[in-house]
Structure 1
Amino acid sequence: MIGGGGERGTGWLLDVWRRRKWLAIVVFAAALVAGVTAARYVPNVYEATATVLVEEPQTDLAAASRLDRRLQQITQEIQSRSRLEQLIQAYGLYPQLRSRYPAEVAVQRMRRDIRTEFKAPPVAGGAASTLAFAITYRAANAVTTARIANALAAFYLEEDVKLRGRKAGEAVQVLKEQLDDVTRKLQEQRQKMGTYPVDSPAGLPQQTTVDLAALGRLHADVRSTSDERLRALDRRNDILRRLAEAESTGPAATLEAPTRLARLKGELAELRRRFSDKYPDVIRVQAEIAALEEQGATEKPVPAEAAPVAPSAAVTRLKDSLAEVDAEIRKLKADEESFRTEEAAYTQRIDSAPQRQRALEEVSRDYQATRDTYDSLRRRYEQARLDDVAEGSSGDPRFRILDAAVVPTGAAAPNRLMLLGLALAAALGLAVGATALSEHLDTSFHSVDDVAAFVSVPVLASIPRIVTERDRRRQRTRFCMATLTVLVGLLLVATSFRSLARVEDGLVATLARGRS
């Protein structure tokens, strides 16, 4: 049914698409949903590396050969079944594998997750040289990777001490030197952590909640002090008003206009030193001065020899009250400034808490890794002191931990972008394959040309399909049911692959090995 010309082939492809488009769409969607779900929920794989330094007192061909044999022997010992089972049991590794398969499966899996890489080959000759090698462990838990890598590096040191055949005292000395190195590094990191004010709870990032509560109390104190100061200012204004009334209605009213004008100008100068020109009392005094100056030309001045009248008792009491209110206002203003200073200090402390937290976590991570190494070396050092086994001395190289493994901050696998690309390509391939297979297995005729190409007799007539309204309703019903079924199927596929990606250890290991 496929024509030889390009135009006929294109038309046939369009016919196939019209007949099989829903099959292709469903297969493509199912495959894509499965792939995207697996790529999204597959667990991360982390890697941590510990570096061991080999100190060689002498290097020649024989020494290099002995070193190679010793490294191979130590590697075999560390990756033995008994040693790996101890690690698996101690750290609770591969719980799903151990629950479903024999213990040997978990041991084989751990052997695949351990990688030893030499940083530099042994140098033959008379000059001294060093050799460093890295022990890398991968797992789905970042903290576990660092601990296992440090434990494996510590095993190398332990087996190195045993295989060098030294006496118990010499073995203790080697461990003591390694312990001293780690102790010095631990002290340096402790000094870095000492820069944080751990003795003062207010300097720790954990005190943010307490600081926020204190800041809230300071806000309330500032508002309360500000309200009290405003009330005091209102009382002061009231006293000034009453004082002005008392002075205008009492004996002071008999003062000469020039004398009162001078007094008002002095009061205006005093008010301007304290307040702005828009202050109500300043405006009031200015108005009184202007009124007196306007009346100066019409009023007859009183002889200057008139004696001033002493202020009344009410005026004296009002002035005393005014002094008390002024003192209270100054105190409230000082308290408010103090509260605002403390408020700014707490605000700055709260704003800088995230930066202090990140810096403290970074220092604590390195300190914890060194602390784990120190604890491991300390236990072996104490055990070596109790050993009374005489061992022969040798001049073989010694191992020393150069860099302890730290908790990785980023995942090493899987490459989710690559997985999404593979899922898209696989979905397209499956859709095309399903369409081609369905078309190949379909032996029915779909057009008059198909019939004419298959039989030798001419086609006399073509009867189109008669579709009634009932047929259309049935077709819509079948389409809705099929759509619902497809959606439920896609949901089941997504749920199944999500669960599979989360629990299948073998899938994670395969993706991690594919990346490395």
Structure 2
Amino acid sequence: MSQLYALARRVWKYRWIGLGVAWLVGVVGLVGSFLVPNRYESSARIYVDTQSILKPLMGGLAVQPNVEMQVTQLSKTLISRPNIEKLIRMADLDLKKQTKAQQEAQIEHLMKTLSIATTGRDNLYTLAYNNPNPEVAKKVVQSLVSIFVESSLGATRKDSASATTFINEQIKTYEAKLEEAEQRLKEFRLRNLELAQPDGKDATSRLAEMSQQLNRAKLELREAENARDAARAQLEGERGRGQDATAASLMQESSLSVATPEIDSRLDSLRRGLDGLLQRYTDQHPDVQTTRRLIRDLEDQKKREVAELRRQALANPATAGGAVGAVQQELSRLLASSEIQVAALKARVNEFQSRYSQAMEAMKTAPQVEAEAAQLNRDYEIHKKKYEELVARREAAAISGDLDVAAGVADFRLIDPPRVSPRPVAPNRFLLLGAALAAALGGGLFASFAASQLRPVFFEPGELRARTELPILGVVSRIISEAETRRVRLDRLRFLGGSAALLLMFGAAMLALVVISARQGG
């Protein structure tokens, strides 16, 4: 406590230095508070309506962008160097001749002072700017509003155009790939034209089918050869029989040689037709099954007619002698017909055998050919699918672009047009005056304290002993006269008067600000 009291007495000794510094700082602060120019704020409010009636109706037909996110991103990126440069030209801030450094300083100043505030939930944006010139502030906000609206439309159209250009380039690329795949597929089919089958069966299925046809033809050939041998043996037996054979045995032998040429001709025609069908279809085909059924019906009919002819021959023995010659003629005709059928079946077997051998040779390269064909078809289908998807996306992008032109990304409504506040928003001169007063008082105290530290004075012996660490031999007292006492009292009054005058100066300045503010409000 004693140390604080000693410090206060030393500071009080240099009070006039402190008062002078306080007055100097106070006057400078007071003048500066009034010289700082007023700044007027211009603001505007915009409501962004992101709802559109057309967009729900076009769901699934066009790309639906996230409009809220686009507008939010636009508001965050609106204050950028290109937009600020555009704003300077629109607001005529570039009319004054400026150096490159001044232009950069102006751009930096605008980027720091322009503000875009939003409530977030209601899509309500407030654009504000303050400037010493209210007209300049208003022009800047008007230009910022125009840039805000135009940037949203321009960005959407630019995105739509960029997307369409990119999709068109991709379509051209895949169109070239598709044409190249089609060309490769065509060349492959021309190289392997002999392997192409209209039914779409693979080589293994075709080989199995040829094997069935060959086996069937061999079976029919063996049946025809057996029938031919039987007819030849029967004809030779007829020629070796004597004329003295009994009528009953003659009729019995003739009954074995009864023929039906009309039915045999129809059966031969149906069998040839069945062979042709089996070369193209399987056994389950309706035409094959119908032909087989007709052949069975004719064979049953032939059996019935042969039995009827044998019965008639046995019932009329008088005609046996003449029947022997007719039987021999009929057997000769049947033998010739059998020879022809055997020759035809041999040619068919040889043809099927040749085809089967060629198919077996083709089987050696068939897997590689089929694998190549599968690869070509897969590449073609992939390119075709991508091409069709890109074409569909291009149409969707075109519809989306037309939708944005018709309905717009969003509806920008100017709730409050740009206006300038009648009162300046800055500076706060009351705060400046208070700060100036505080700085004056602080400066005075600091000056007195600094002087007391530079030229210290000791008022107590103990304080001197503690500072110098030397013994004090004695103390000389000072007798203050009455005139000295009056001088000290007068000096205190003058100091208090000077301090009061400083406070009154600041009080008068604040009173003047109150009057000025009241007049501006009126």
The alignment's TM-score, normalised by the length of structure 2, stands at 0.38
Q: Larger Cα Rg: Structure 1 or Structure 2? A: 2
The alignment's TM-score, normalised by the length of structure 1, stands at 0.38
